[in-house]
Amino acid sequence: VEKNELYSVIITNKTAEIIPNKDITEEKILENLLKQGVKLVSFRLDYPSLNQVFVDIMK
């Protein structure tokens, strides 16, 4: 897991799951990625996994 001021990211073979920090919009994240020169194939919003919901509840 990598972190910065906007988000945390979990990188696998060909994907990256980006978890925004509180009060950070997807627009800010997308703008940041493009400024870094990241080549995007797709960018989509998704709900947290059931595993993540369980972990959040247990905290």
Q: Are 16 and 32 in contact (CB under 8 A)?
A: no
Q: Which two tokens stand for residue 53?
A: 């919901």
Q: What is the pLDDT of residues 24-56, one digit of tens each?
A: 999 999 999 999 999 888 988 887 777 677 777
pLDDT grade, residue 2 (50/70/90)? confident
Residue 47 carries which side chain, given as an amino acid letter? Y
This prediction has a pTM of: 0.68
Per domain, the residue ranges of the chain are 2-58
Burial class (CB in 10 A: 0-12, 13-18, 19+), 54: exposed
